[in-house]
Structure 1
Amino acid sequence: MANSPSNNDTSQKEMFKLLKIFGLTSLGLVLVLSLFNGHRANNSGEDPTFKIKDAGLLFFYNLRRIDYQVQRLTEAKIEIYTHSSFEKDSTQNTLLLDLILNKNKQTAFLYMKPQGVFLKSESLKLRNGKLPNQETLTLNIGTADRHIHLEASKKIIQWLQQEEGFVEVFSNNKWNNLFQNKNQKEAFNATFIDFLKITANK
């Protein structure tokens, strides 16, 4: 026997109620997941360590860029920033830290660039000048691995931030102060901090 109109109405009401519950549940789930969007696992294959954050880049452009000299590689959409407090004399023996922005890939990274006689070396042997906890670091000149530059920069910053901390380089068969003046140390530190702000790293 065919269903009566009242039975059809009841079935339709129950179906409508189920769809409504399902829809509201789905919507609630989407909203909850969106709160944790920034904590999702990274499956894109890109390293978030070097990813530019819009707020950080805006801060850099508005407040910090004035302290840098910039070289632009227009076709590649790359900007290379060198802090103005670094020694401008290219014959000065020191280690520069460049901040490189790749606007095409929305990435930022650090690049340590030797200057003066250090350009002729295949590697630089560095150490912190604090005893008794002395550490050493060997930097291969010309390596393009951004992870190596970042980790080496972190180690140098750690040395510089110690009380009365300084960095030495082994040259001419003896250890010499790498940063000859306070401005160079401050420029290295400022560049590192600006990288952290641009990429929202801690």
Structure 2
Amino acid sequence: MAKNNKDTLSPELVRLLKIFGIGSLVFVLVMSFFNEKRANNSGKEPSPMRITDAERLYFKNVRSAYYDIENRRDARMTVYRHGKRAKNTEEPTLVFSIILNQVNDEAYIFLEPNFEDLPIRLKWLGPEKNQEGEITFEGGDKFAHFEFAEQITPLLIDNATFEVWQIDNWEPLWADEKEKNAVMVTIEDYQKLIGKTK
């Protein structure tokens, strides 16, 4: 005759299950205190060019009065160009514009030269001796334009003088203080728009 097996757990197995259960609970509890990074389930990648409603409203209601506005309905974008920007087509100049992308809630800064030559080579001279350098802009996407603006911002703040390479010689750039100021104001407004103020 077969033995009558009862389904009971041995004391060692009960002790192992208690240790495993209590250890798992302690592990989960401890890890929950150190979980600072949250998952991004929005479906959108974080972007340094993202803007909030408050920043957009401030720009549209206060700062946009200083800009010429071009609505691009086909692309669902609005282009803002500073009203006091350089408009002379005889001399080479670089102008920045701010583009609001309504679909992605983003803002872009975009370089608009009045000449077609790429790459754009800038030579700058600082207010003190031995402060000089060269910056090259190859063109590219929104990040390349953003990076170029980031490179020249500290130089504009330090009141550096600029020259741009044209065909076979260096031409002065932003010689008129009004033009230089329009570039600086555009970059500052853009930095406020994306929440990056210096």
Whether these two folds match at TM > 0.5 is: yes
Q: Secondary structure at the match of 2:89?
A: coil
Match of 2:26 in 1: none
Aligned 8 A contact 1:159 1:167 in 2: no
Q: 2:120 matched to which residue of 1?
A: 124
SS at match of 1:126: strand
Aligned partner of 2:145 in structure 1 is 149
* Structure-2 residue corresponding to 1:71: 70
The letter for the 2-side match of 1:167 is F
Q: Which residue of 2 aligns with 1:200?
A: 195
Q: CA RMSD in A?
A: 2.3
Which protein shows a greater Rg? 2
CA shift in 2, pair 1:74/1:53, >3 Å: same
Please report how far the alpha carbon of residue 172 of structure 1 lies from its aligned counterpart in structure 2 after TM superposition. 4.4
Q: 1:106 Cα shift?
A: 0.9
Paired residues of 2:125 and 2:131 also in contact (CA < 8 A)? no
Residue 179 of structure 2 is aligned to residue 184 of structure 1: yes
* Amino acid in structure 2 at the alignment position of 1:127: K
Note if contact 2:92-2:171 (Cα within 8 Å) is conserved in structure 1: no
Q: 1:86·1:96 contact (CA, 8 Å) conserved in 2?
A: yes
Quote how far apart the aligned CAs of 1:178 are: 1.1
Other-structure match for 2:52: 53
Deviation sequence 1:59-100 (CA, Å, 0-9, x none): 111110010001111132100111011122334410010100
Alignment partner, residue 160 of structure 1: 156
What count of residue pairs does the alignment treat as equivalent?
161
Gaps of 5+ in 2: 1-31
The Cα of 1:45 is off from its aligned counterpart by 5.2
C-alpha distance in 1 between matches for 2:63 and 2:194: 14
Aligned to 1:86: 85
Aligned mates of 2:92, 2:70 — CA distance in 1? 21
- Checking the alignment, whether the CA contact within 8 Å between 2:68 and 2:82 is kept in structure 1 is yes
Instruction: Point out the structure with the larger helix share.
Output: 1
Q: Which runs of 5 or more structure 1 residues have no equivalent in the other structure?
A: 1-28
SS of residue in 2 equivalent to 1:76: coil
The CA distance in 2 between the partners of 1:108 and 1:70, in whole Å, is 14
Question: What is the identity, as a one-letter code, of the residue corresponding to 2:181?
Answer: E
Partner AA of 2:52 in structure 1: K
C-alpha contact 1:156 1:167 (8 A) present in aligned 2: no
Give the partner amino acid of 1:173: D
TM-score of the two chains, using structure 2 as the length reference: 0.73
Residues 109 and 146, structure 1, Cα contact 8 Å, conserved in 2: yes
Distance 1:138 1:42 in 2: 36
Q: Work out whether residues 55 and 195 of structure 2, in 8 Å CA contact, stay in contact via their aligned partners in 1.
A: yes
Q: Indicate conservation of the 8 Å contact 1:80/1:100, yes or no.
A: yes
For 1:102 and 1:63, the matched residues in 2 are separated by: 18
Deviates more, 1:40-49 or 1:104-113: 40-49
